[in-house]
Amino acid sequence: MSGPEIRRVGVVGLGAMGAGIAQLAIEAGYETVGREVSGELGAKARDRIAHFLQRKVDKEQMSADEREAALASLFLTTELADFADCDLVIEAIVEDLQAKLELFAALEGIVRPDAILATNTSALSVTEISAAVSTPERVIGMHFFNPAPLMPLVEIVRAELSTDETVEAAFAVGARLGKRPIRCHDTPGFVVNRVLIPLLNDCIRILDEARVTPQDLDTAMTAGAGWPMGPCALVDLVGIDVHVHASEALYEKLREPRMAPPPRIVAMKHAGLLGRKSGRGFFTYD
Ligand SMILES: NC(=O)c1ccc[n+]([C@@H]2O[C@H](COP(=O)([O-])OP(=O)(O)OC[C@H]3O[C@@H](n4cnc5c(N)ncnc54)[C@H](O)[C@@H]3O)[C@@H](O)[C@H]2O)c1
């Protein structure tokens, strides 16, 4: 299968990730269709995107005309049928396998047979999602990092039946979005989370084992290992609940003890100490 030239991009779900991906797409000059479950949520996403682009204008990273042109290329909808002319659709809805399977099955009936279907899932199997359609060769993972407009990496995740053309087309889109794409296969955690989640869990366990404070552990890893940010500050930024969820998902698949969330962080989650977003995690925030 040789893929189409990608000119029109669809983004399903305009939450934290989808809005960022849609922003990248319009900045890169793609006609972009964004779908939310309600017009109100779509409008909220557009406002967020408009706000971030205005900040870029203020910082002289783009002109006011470029901002207007980018925003004009974003078409919001609540109808899946509006993806009919998209060459690539990137799914960024809730992290729920059933919801994604239903969406992919519905999309297959709408988009052209050669359109690429991508998922931004963090922890589900791209191959399992691809089984929702009769043409799994055009399904791929495009795993962006949060916040998508700022984090340079996108993992291009090859599912069991993805073709080379699909992989390369998604890779090229990642590059045009200004990202640094890498290619990998569909294994639990892909690359970054497979490395980072057990490492962060080790860090959390070491808090108790070495009786080191979060502040000192962060100093140890920034000053001694050259990390740009300490592990406790990082988990606070990601969200304690998000980290626990990702750890549980990896543990469920790999059954390696290091993947399991340490009891200390599970207790923090239950106590509502979710990190930056709740004002308190390992550290307190204003
Ligand atoms: N947040 C992260 O750090 C992060 C990083 C990488 C990947 N991801 C993955 O990206 C996906 C989205 O995560 P998020 O953090 O943006 O979630 P989110 O809850 O912020 O956004 C999801 C959005 O999808 C919308 N939605 C749900 N079903 C829909 C449908 N059928 N059609 C259109 N819109 C629909 C919801 O209204 C919501 O606005 C998940 O698969 C997640 O695992 C998240």
For ligand 1, mutation pick of 11, 14, 17, 86 (most atoms within 8 Å of CB): 17
Q: Which of 253, 257, 254, 232 is nearest to 243 (CA)?
A: 232
Of 185, 217, 247, the one marking the end of a domain is 185
Residues 143, 162, 201, 243: which is the catalytic one? 143
- At 127-174, the pLDDT tens digits run 999 999 999 999 999 999 999 999 999 999 999 999 999 999 999 999
What's the domain range around 159?
8-185
Domain termination residue (choose one: 130, 150, 185): 185
Is the domain of 57 the same as that of 165?
A: yes
- Ligand 1 pocket check for 48: Cβ under 6 Å: no
pLDDT for the residue 1:
47
Q: Is 210 helix (H, G, I), strand (E, B) or coil?
A: coil
193 catalytic? Reply is: yes
pLDDT attached to residue 3 = 61
Which residues contact residue 261 at a Cβ distance below 8 angstroms, ignoring those fewer than 6 apart? 201, 243, 244, 247, 248, 251
Whole-prediction pTM value?
0.94
Count of domains forming the chain: 2
The rounded Å distance from CA 222 to ligand 1 centre is 31
Does a structural domain hold residue 282? no
**Is the same domain home to 171 and 197?**
no
User: For this structure, is 247 an active site residue?
Assistant: no
Distance 17 CA to ligand 1 centre (A): 6
**Helix boundaries (H) for the chain:** 16-27, 39-58, 64-72, 97-108, 126-130, 164-176, 192-209, 214-225, 231-238, 240-254, 263-270
Q: In this structure, how many other beta carbons lie within 10 angstroms of the beta carbon of residue 264?
A: 12
For the Cβ of 146 lying below 6 angstroms from any atom of ligand 1, the answer is: yes
| Each residue's pLDDT tens digit, 15-73 | 999 999 999 999 999 999 999 999 999 999 999 999 999 999 999 999 999 999 999 99
Does residue 122 carry a catalytic annotation? yes
Any ligand 1 atom below 6 A from CB of 37: yes
Residue 198: what pLDDT?
97
Query: Does residue 85 lie within any of the structural domains?
Result: yes
CATH number at residue 239: 1.10.1040.10
Ligand 1: centre distance to CA 61 (Å): 28
Of 185, 210, 225, the residue at which a domain comes to its end is 185
- Which burial class, exposed, middle or buried, applies to 257 when counting CB atoms under 10 A from its CB (0-12, 13-18, 19+)? exposed
Please indicate, yes or no, whether residues 158 and 53 belong to a single structural domain of this protein: yes
